[in-house]
Chain A
Amino acid sequence: DIQLTQSPSFLSPSVGDRVTITCRASQPFSSYLAWYQQKSRKAPNVLIYSVSTLQSGVPSRFSGSGLGTEFTLTIDSVQPEDSAVYYCQQLFIYPWTFGQGTKLEVK
């Protein structure tokens, strides 16, 4: 199984800060990585797919990058409504796996 490890597990930035969440994989894979946002235990929503493609309707301050075993989600100028838990997911090899989550609390 591909293990995904997110860092950090918790972030508490101020409004306007730039935030980076890293997702490291136990083995390399190509392109099949997505990022999700989950607010207050509601259903997750996709932010980014195919490593770096922004889902329609998602603010442009969100971006994704990476390849191989290291992927990042960046939020430029974080806003209060970005407070949520963020998950990366690999959909390359079964079983498809998620990272453990990064909780973001905007001050």
Chain B
Amino acid sequence: DVQLVESGGGLVQSGGSLRLSCAASGFIFRESWMTWVRQAPGKGLEWVANINQDGNERNYVDSVKGRFTISRDNAKNSLYLQMNSLRAEDTAIYYCAKLVRYPTNWFDPWGQGTQVTVSS
């Protein structure tokens, strides 16, 4: 079965840093684009970032550019999100997902999410 398991969330003070991880199994990770999506409390979904198979193409939503870095380790079947200069508005559940890119784009499957809380 395809499985994505996030970890690394927690409570951090404003201005602090956190590194999220996403462990992948059940598919050929090194051949897959991956993505992060977040959901603030009581709010909808927001795409955060994606990364291609070898890590040399990365895209971000403007609100996290310069603060967040998406990366991957194909040898460990793992995806990461380094979050620096955290703000209260970054408080959310963070989901990793596999990005399917043919014939169009969509996210499937998603992990169960990890909670990030930024205190101000």
Residues on A lying within 8 angstroms of B by beta carbon are 31-34, 36, 38, 41-46, 49-50, 55, 87, 89, 91, 94-101
Contact = CB atoms under 8 A, between A and B. Distances in A.
Chain B interface residue count: which class? 20 to 34
Contacts, number: 65
A87 B95 contact: no
B31 interface: no
Counting chain B CB atoms within 10 Å of each CB, the highest count among A33, A34, A44 belongs to A44
Nearest to A1: B62
A100 B44 CA distance: 6
What DSSP secondary structure best describes chain A's contact surface? Answer: loop
Interface in B88-112: 93, 95, 100, 103-112
A34 B46 CA distance: 14
B105 A32 contact: yes
What DSSP secondary structure best describes chain B's contact surface? Answer: strand
B44 A44 contact: no
B105 A42 contact: no
B79 to A, nearest CB: 15
Given A43-B109, A49-B100, 17 more contacts: A33-B104, A34-B107, A38-B45, A43-B112, A44-B110, A45-B110, A87-B45, A95-B61, A96-B47, A97-B47, A98-B44, A98-B46, A98-B47, A99-B44, A100-B44, A101-B44, A101-B45
A95 B62 contact: yes
Counting chain B CB atoms within 10 Å of each CB, the highest count among A46, A95, A97 belongs to A95
A96 B45 CA distance: 11
